[in-house]
Structure 1
Amino acid sequence: MRSSNHLIGLMNFLTFLASIPILGGGIWLSSRANSTDCMKFLQWPLIVIGVAIMVVSLAGFAGACYRNTFLMYLYLWAMFFIIAILIGFIIFAYAVTDKGSGRPVLNRAYSEYYLQDYTGWLEERVTTQSYWSKISSCVRDSHVCGKMRRSVNGIPETADMFNLRKLSPIESGCCKPPTACGYIYGNETYWTPGTGLVGADPDCVRWSNDQEQLCYNCDSCKAGVLASLKKSWRKVSVINIVILIFLVIMYVVACAAFRHNKRMDNDEPYGETRMEKAQPSRIHF
């Protein structure tokens, strides 16, 4: 029985360690929300799940050490619900980031992003005016466009050099006009209209060389934010899937060990009774 308790204790310790990557993923999303992605509510489910796994695994560890049946029941039921919630979160994360990706541009290393490629709950959430005003303000305050400026030996980057850069979705969508608009490169965030007609894309007239405006009100900027969110969520989801598989294995082993403990507890009185019966009765005179 001691070996079973030791096994359960080890499982809970490993579960505690498994909660660290989940919590780390939530913290990483939080840092992204404060810097580029700017969707500040998305990281909280992961942080809550990570903290919950930590607390529950500590309760299970204590239950195994002190052979507290109540704590073990609490651990098993709580872990069951946490695993179910984590499965739901992974499915949700993949469902809301299922559609949309960058489109390649001729003679350019970077991709461009179009809002019509994204549909569903996340797209509606991002494009809602009340949310977008906060998101665009966050993108502006992150100075992501100002950080695009480069120079070689003190000489500003040329158009050909810029075209060979692999821009992030937000840099491509928010910091420059769409290529189809025909603007002429001045520097990374300053573009002048070409000699021909401006393209039919509504973003062509939304572009501004005002460094506080740029393309922050463009659909391409909203698409860039969605693409950045998709990339961040997919990275975290891969970690979550690995941790989920590990948690399921740990949960199955913990259930088996707990049932073994219960069976041993139930067998002990029965074994004692049989031993008592096997002993010869004493005759009293």
Structure 2
Amino acid sequence: MTRNATDGGDPAVDAVTCAGLRYSFGETHAVDGLDLSVRDGEVFGLLGPNGAGKTTAIRCITTLLPVPAGKVSVFGHDATRERMAVRRLLGYVPQQLSADAGLTGRENVALFARVFDVSRRERARRVEQALEAVDLTAAADRLARTYSGGMVRRLELAQALVSAPRLLMLDEPTIGLDPIARTNVWEHINAVRAATGMTVLVTTHYMDEADQYCDRVALMHRGRVRALGTPDELRTGLRERLGTESPLPTLEDVFRDVAGSGLDDQSGDFRDVRSTRRTASRVG
């Protein structure tokens, strides 16, 4: 797939910049002064326990939520003042399922092509390219309700790719999938990235995914980034703090070190748990 020639943006600037981003739900500070930069062309993992503020930050970046304090920009476009310009640069796979079970795979992707205002003369070609990119051409005319969990996630990836985005946002893209399906989804993500040079920003609770596929990761806790670097840098940094005689920690060890004992009171509310379980059960 190729990028939209009219996607705009300066290739010299970061793909995403958050400066002092704050967002509250009543008295709860979901995002509390978030400073974050994602470089053009990298796979960036945003990690953290439930309730850390990851999804809220993602929704501010995608303009689904307003930016009440601080600043968010995507390839130099302000997410508050240039919302439509930002949206034209994005592909987004949310944590909740977005595919319609009553439509075929092709119809689902075509619907998103219309939503993202892909021109009519380009639409059929773009839909075919997106389906081919995620290896769903053979199943394109089957109803989505007949798809396996991994196929559903790949279909949603096709929906996000049909507009040829410069930035692909993935919120828990492999939730509820078995290890083989998870690997398959990531293989397709990496293939599209290699072909297009797009930037990928992903949230995940699977530390092995972040370790294997992300160029850099940020560990977020209580609305702020607490650690940032490559997986190797974060593991090495923790080992130095523990003592060089210690075995090399895993990224999961780094996660536990950053989150500390605050996991229990930052684990989201009943609706978060219900929504996650519903999504997992539908793709499982």
Bigger strand fraction:
2
Q: Which has the larger radius of gyration?
A: 1
TM-score (norm 2): 0.23
TM-score of the pair, normalised by structure 1 = 0.23
Say which structure is richer in helix: 1
